[in-house]
Structure 1
């Protein structure tokens, strides 16, 4: 019998790195890129199902797109209760946004008191001439923090779904492992 699992994805990163654009492009299957930027105040929620390959199951992702401005941090943290996975986004043309990834991970860990499966996402790869963070440096950071690494361009709608498919599959594997452990206890 097919299962539908629900996963809470918290999306974090500095302001203007493209968290909302990535979320909206994924949610709309590439049909919508927000051409006019409006800063996220607090948290925006999107829901989308991802089918798990080689099964009849799916994971319904509840994507909490968090504001990146410090001004909203106290408010945003209230929405980080009981996350399943984390997505940390930075702008490949902005070194400060990359350096802030450590701060965002620490905030999530302090709030959740646990290691979460997750993904580091380098956005804005379409701005080739302005790139300052190499894929190698980003991959090393991701590996050091037990994260997967993906790059995308929300504007060009390139590879946006990869990070979401990764977190859906990671959550599904974690669920299956826990079910297996529970079955051995019976």
Structure 2
């Protein structure tokens, strides 16, 4: 049985639902907070995720970071050497989706020369009447960037775990590839 640790960066504009997503995941769906204060700096969420079809697990250290530019210098230090990325936007806010390119570039700059596995997560999918970002558009962009794509509604407790399980699996696959490569050298 292997237990790995992975640093996960949770990135996106302010008020897209990053903290709600992380908190719901940590509490296994038992804790939806209706009122949030904007994250100032970084909150850390830690959770062990079992890897399907193995006895192994990945302990995700999820750095839930403020989306405000005001904190960007601090983020540079806290974002050093990420293992996986969870990029979050609000499906009712076109600007938050457009900003994903900036957030992705910033995260990838912290891991130069390394493939940074990740997911794109559209939140607030329960607000169907207010949607401004088309699912197909988000999926196409994610695919073009090498990211898996998810939509979730933390409020409705719909698919909030899937992105994190995907990240754990992606990280585990990288680990297995490195172990296999090492075995070929020996």
**How high is the TM-score relative to the length of structure 1?**
0.98
After TM superposition, list the pairs within 5 Å mapping 1:150-161 onto structure 2.
Answer: 150-161=150-161
Aligned to 2:100: 101
Distance 1:119 1:10 in 2: 11
SS at match of 1:9: strand
Distance 1:52 1:169 in 2: 6
After TM superposition, list the pairs within 5 Å mapping 1:1-186 onto structure 2.
Answer: 2-113=1-112, 114-186=114-186
For residue 156 of structure 1, report the CA deviation from its aligned partner. Answer: 1.3
> Is there any run of 5+ residues in structure 1 with no aligned partner, and where?
none
For residue 62 of structure 1, report the CA deviation from its aligned partner. Answer: 0.5
Contact 2:20/2:154 (<8 A) preserved = yes
Distance 2:115 2:66 in 1: 22
For residue 33 of structure 1, report the CA deviation from its aligned partner. Answer: 1.1
Shifted more, 134-143 versus 104-113: the winner is 104-113
SS at match of 2:161: helix
For residue 34 of structure 1, report the CA deviation from its aligned partner. Answer: 1.7
SS at match of 1:32: coil
**How high is the TM-score relative to the length of structure 2?**
0.98
For residue 82 of structure 1, report the CA deviation from its aligned partner. Answer: 1.3
Deviations 1:60-99 (A, max 9, x none): 0000001001111111221111111001000000000000
Shifted more, 74-83 versus 145-154: the winner is 74-83
CA RMSD of aligned residues (A): 0.7
Shifted more, 68-77 versus 162-171: the winner is 68-77
Deviations 1:2-58 (A, max 9, x none): 110001100000000000000000000001112111110111001001111111111
Contact 1:25/1:32 (<8 A) preserved = yes
Runs of 4+ with >3 A deviation: none
